[in-house]
């Protein structure tokens, strides 16, 4: 069979985009799959690959098949929160390190001149991990049966409703779809890079949980058996999440990823190569090279001593999340004995801990009104000794920085990163005095207007340095009379409490500092999402529901919403940048969120015989960590395989 190869260099020295070859190609496959083909359990590799598989370049050399890589995760129910460095998710399009948008699931696309339509061409013959064809019907199912279904999606995603109207999705043929928009949508390509939602729904699998395809009486039996009250609750437990199957999806879930979850034992997970994975190396070898991925839990959160112990003992083959810079000397000291190397990747995270005072907190109106006074936010920022945080936790390698974009972003202006970021407790105290927040009789704590001690509860989940930074701020804020209580909560609880408007103060790292991520999702500066920003849940709800629910924000915040919406539709790049800078200037003046430090390098642990791992890449959400810059499917284990752990 003659097949065409679309060669796409996603990383490396050269980038060949859209080059095709009509030469006959002989494909190769992993020995474990060849055995299954010989036994009649799988069709030949040529029949499992699409007509035009994506060709992935290798970093060092053509790899070798086999072995199991040992990863970790540090959160209950988050089997790939650490393991997703290799597990990863697949989007229609991908982002190269230089910002170029590249093919991925889609082999090609065409945006209309007026940006009101985009045509997407899928790969003919591409299949889900269970061998069922992946076609336009899967995307139509996501849009028509999931997104437009009011029970499954009561609030429609704004990114797919430009101009306030849901887009129209048209199926041209089995491998071509066209998206139509009411207004120009020039950033839609970025939405196809960063939006994972369309690829969580394998129609042939998910339709059994949907009343359009399954009789309601049958569906109600399944709902009852699994302990739910409504069909949509069952449905929402069964589809693919960002980093893996949903908590009720089980194993062998159909996926487009390079690995399929095969076993679960407690909080330990085993994934195995996807026999229908649709990428090959330049020599025609079907990827991935590695057979299996083992992901045991190693404690909880970034402060996990178990994770650190497993790393220095040489039991972790790859780790780039929750590897703290403060542990870098220990990692280096143990590297030779542990048979691993330590790389330092430049971080695209613009802030390690973005402090968010809840401006819509209803449980305590007095505290909410204090937060809404810009003088309080300015004082809170000036009372943070960022250099102490930098030296204590990051060896001085980070940068004191507000919650704003990276200096390399086209949206950055001098001053955005330094606004109220100097350490000046004297000025902070002056601002609090000006507000009328008096000291108690012992001159120890500030008093609220109602006479109560000014106390703020800071709730953070167990990731990275959110807790240690909070403890340092607690001591620093005591100097200006603020009593900060630092409280650790689970990640699952955070996703419940933050959007429910239940926290007084929260925090998360700011990883929207690149130009593409800020262009599409400036959620730390504009109330357009309830996921990551506990600073204004009611204002976000007001925006997301079109004013039907939540609370109407003040004029300056509404201006930022208008600026954001214009950014999404303008065809003029200079105008988009101007509008983005206005949003960032508003944050610099009003401190809707308060930054601490940013741009700290990331220690990355790599087993010595794990090869094709790049020595240096931009690392962060803007590039999906390893996903778009390293192509983990071309990682391989070079013999001798020194893997001692067994599942």
Are the CB atoms for 619 and 604 separated by under 8 Å?
yes
> Whole-angstrom Cα distance, residue 255 to residue 275?
11
Three-state DSSP class for residue 244: coil
The per-residue pLDDT for range 33-51, each reduced to its tens digit, is 999 999 999 999 999 999 9
> Whole-angstrom Cα distance, residue 210 to residue 508?
35
Mean pLDDT, to the nearest integer, of 364-391?
98
Q: What is the pLDDT of residue 153?
A: 93
Phi-psi region of 2 (alpha: psi -120 to 50; beta: other; left: phi over 0): beta
Average of per-residue pLDDT values in the chain: 89
Are the CB atoms for 526 and 594 separated by under 8 Å?
no
Written as six digits, the tokens of 79 are 């089997």
Eight-state DSSP code of residue 285: B
Written as six digits, the tokens of 620 are 């962060």
Backbone φ, ψ for residue 410 (5° rounding): -65, -15
Q: What is the pLDDT of residue 243?
A: 56
Bond preceding residue 288 cis, omega within 30 of 0: yes
For residues 645 and 71, the model is more confident at 71
The verdict on residue 610 lying in a domain is no
Written as six digits, the tokens of 226 are 């699994």
**17-21, 48-52, 379-383, 516-520: range with lowest mean pLDDT:** 17-21
> Whole-angstrom Cα distance, residue 472 to residue 45?
56
Comparing C-alpha atoms, which of 398, 377, 378 is closest to residue 387? Answer: 398
Tracing tokens 């998206």 back to the chain, one arrives at 179
Instruction: Looking at mean pLDDT, say which of 72-86, 534-548, 617-631 comes out highest.
Output: 534-548
pLDDT greater than 90 at residue 338: yes
The verdict on residue 267 lying in a domain is no
pLDDT greater than 60 at residue 76: no
Q: How many CB atoms lie within 10 A of CB 364?
A: 18
> Whole-angstrom Cα distance, residue 386 to residue 597?
6
The verdict on residue 70 lying in a domain is no
Q: How buried is residue 548: exposed, middle or buried, by Cβ count under 10 Å (0-12/13-18/19+)?
A: exposed
Backbone φ, ψ for residue 335 (5° rounding): -65, -45
- Owning domain of residue 419: 351-598
The verdict on residue 205 lying in a domain is no
The verdict on residue 340 lying in a domain is no
Three-state DSSP class for residue 474: helix
Are the CB atoms for 552 and 339 separated by under 8 Å?
no
> Whole-angstrom Cα distance, residue 629 to residue 345?
12
> Whole-angstrom Cα distance, residue 305 to residue 308?
5
CA dihedral 244, 245, 247, 250 (to 10 degrees): -130
Our separate counts of H helices and E strands in the chain read 21, 25
Residues 6+ away with beta carbon under 8 Å from 281? 55, 56, 57, 58, 62, 63, 287, 634
Are the CB atoms for 323 and 331 separated by under 8 Å?
yes
Backbone φ, ψ for residue 543 (5° rounding): -70, -45
For residues 461 and 206, the model is more confident at 206
pLDDT greater than 90 at residue 549: yes
> Whole-angstrom Cα distance, residue 565 to residue 568?
5
> Whole-angstrom Cα distance, residue 89 to residue 71?
16
Bond preceding residue 640 cis, omega within 30 of 0: yes
The per-residue pLDDT for range 411-446, each reduced to its tens digit, is 999 999 999 999 999 999 999 999 999 999 999 999
Comparing C-alpha atoms, which of 79, 213, 57, 90 is closest to residue 144? Answer: 213
> Whole-angstrom Cα distance, residue 518 to residue 565?
13
Type and span of the H or E element at 137: helix 136-140
Are the CB atoms for 293 and 270 separated by under 8 Å?
yes
Three-state DSSP class for residue 573: helix
Mean pLDDT, to the nearest integer, of 143-149?
96
pLDDT band at 242 (very low <50, low <70, confident <90, very high): low
Instruction: Looking at mean pLDDT, say which of 161-165, 315-319, 484-488 comes out highest.
Output: 484-488
Quote the percentage of the chain above a pLDDT of 90.
72
Residues 6+ away with beta carbon under 8 Å from 78? 243, 491
Total number of domains constituting the chain: 1
Residues 6+ away with beta carbon under 8 Å from 152? 145, 146, 232, 235, 236
Comparing C-alpha atoms, which of 199, 179, 213, 189 is closest to residue 138? Answer: 199
User: pTM, whole model, 2 decimals?
Assistant: 0.89
What's the CATH number where 482 sits? 3.10.105.10
pLDDT band at 248 (very low <50, low <70, confident <90, very high): low
Three-state DSSP class for residue 108: strand
Three-state DSSP class for residue 326: helix
Instruction: Looking at mean pLDDT, say which of 11-25, 301-315, 526-540 comes out highest.
Output: 526-540
The verdict on residue 573 lying in a domain is yes
The verdict on residue 466 lying in a domain is yes
Three-state DSSP class for residue 96: coil
Q: How buried is residue 500: exposed, middle or buried, by Cβ count under 10 Å (0-12/13-18/19+)?
A: exposed
Q: What is the pLDDT of residue 246?
A: 58
Could you tell me how far CA 282 lies from the centroid of its own chain?
29
CA distances from 584 to 6, 37, 413, 521, 591 (A): 40, 57, 9, 13, 10
For residues 76 and 347, the model is more confident at 347
The verdict on residue 457 lying in a domain is yes
> Whole-angstrom Cα distance, residue 610 to residue 614?
11
The per-residue pLDDT for range 101-145, each reduced to its tens digit, is 999 999 999 999 999 999 999 999 999 999 999 999 999 999 999
36: which strand partners?
A: none
Type and span of the H or E element at 261: strand 259-265
Q: What is the pLDDT of residue 526?
A: 97
Q: What is the pLDDT of residue 16?
A: 36
Could you tell me how far CA 196 lies from the centroid of its own chain?
9
Quote the percentage of the chain above a pLDDT of 70.
90
Q: How many CB atoms lie within 10 A of CB 452?
A: 12
């Amino acid at each position: 069979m003659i097949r065409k190869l679309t060669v796409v260099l996603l990383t490396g020295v050269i980038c060949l985009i859209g080059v095709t070859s009509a030469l006959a190609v002989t494909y190769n496959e992993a020995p474990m799959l060849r055995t299954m083909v010989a036994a009649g359990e799988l069709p030949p590799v040529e029949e499992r690959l699409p007509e035009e598989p994506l060709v992935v370049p290798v970093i060092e050399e053509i790899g070798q098949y086999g072995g199991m890589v040992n990863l970790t995760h540090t959160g209950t129910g988050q089997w790939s929160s650490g393991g997703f460095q290799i597990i990863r998710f697949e989007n229609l399009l991908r982002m190269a390190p230089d910002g170029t948008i590249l093919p991925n699931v889609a082999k090609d696309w065409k945006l209309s001149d007026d940006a009101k339509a985009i045509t997407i061409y899928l790969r003919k013959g591409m299949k889900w991990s269970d061998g069922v064809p992946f076609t336009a019907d899967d995307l139509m199912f996501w849009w028509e049966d999931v997104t437009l279904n009011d029970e499954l999606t009561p609030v429609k995603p704004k990114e797919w409703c430009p101009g306030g109207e849901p887009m129209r999705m048209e199926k041209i043929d089995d491998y071509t779809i066209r998206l139509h928009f009411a207004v120009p949508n020039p950033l839609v390509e970025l939405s196809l890079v960063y939006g994972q939602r369309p690829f969580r729904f394998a129609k042939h699998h998910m339709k059994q949980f949907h009343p359009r395809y399954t009789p309601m009486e049958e569906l109600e039996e399944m709902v009852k058996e699994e302990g739910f009250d409504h069909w949509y609750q069952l449905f929402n437990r069964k589809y693919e999440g960002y980093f893996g199957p949903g908590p009720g999806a089980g194993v062998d879930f159909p996926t487009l990823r390079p690995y399929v979850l095969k076993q679960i034992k407690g909080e330990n997970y085993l994934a195995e190569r996807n026999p229908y994975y649709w990428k090959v190396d330049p020599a025609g070898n079907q990827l991935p090279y590695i057979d299996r991925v083992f992901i045991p839990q190693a404690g909880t959160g970034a402060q996990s001593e178990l994770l650190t112990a497993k790393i220095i003992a040489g039991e972790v083959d790859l780790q780039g999340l929750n590897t703290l810079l403060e542990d870098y000397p220990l990692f280096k000291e143990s590297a030779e004995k542990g048979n691993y190397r330590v790389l330092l990747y430049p971080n695209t995270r613009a802030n390690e801990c973005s402090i968010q005072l809840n401006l819509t907190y209803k449980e305590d109106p007095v505290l909410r009104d204090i937060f809404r006074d810009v003088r309080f936010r300015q004082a809170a920022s000036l009372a943070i000794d960022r250099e102490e945080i930098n030296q204590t936790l990051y060896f001085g390698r980070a940068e004191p920085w507000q919650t704003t974009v990276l200096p390399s972003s086209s949206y950055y202006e001098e001053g955005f990163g330094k606004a109220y970021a100097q350490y000046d407790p004297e000025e902070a105290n002056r601002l609090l005095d000006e507000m009328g927040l008096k000291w108690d009789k012992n001159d120890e704590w500030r008093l609220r207007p109602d006479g109560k001690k000014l106390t703020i509860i800071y709730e953070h989940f167990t990731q990275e340095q959110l807790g240690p930074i909070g403890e340092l701020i607690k001591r620093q804020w005591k100097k200006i009379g603020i009593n900060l209580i630092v409280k650790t909560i689970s990640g699952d609880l955070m996703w419940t409490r933050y959007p429910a408007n239940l926290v007084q103060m929260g925090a998360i790292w700011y990883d929207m500092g690149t130009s593409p991520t800020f262009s599409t999702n400036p959620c730390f500066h504009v109330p357009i999402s309830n996921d990551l920003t506990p600073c204004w849940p009611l204002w976000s709800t007001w925006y997301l529901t079109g004013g039907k629910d939540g609370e109407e924000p003040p004029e300056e915040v509404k201006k930022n919403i208008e600026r954001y919406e214009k950014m999404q539709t303008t065809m003029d790049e200079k105008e988009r940048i101007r509008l983005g800078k206005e949003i960032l200037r508003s944050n610099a003046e009003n401190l809707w969120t308060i930054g601490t430090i940013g741009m700290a390098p990331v220690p990355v642990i790599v087993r010595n015989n794990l090869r094709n791992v790049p020595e240096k890449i931009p690392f962060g959400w803007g590039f999906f960590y390893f996903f778009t810059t390293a192509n983990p499917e071309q990682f391989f284990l070079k013999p001798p395989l020194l893997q001692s752990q067994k599942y």
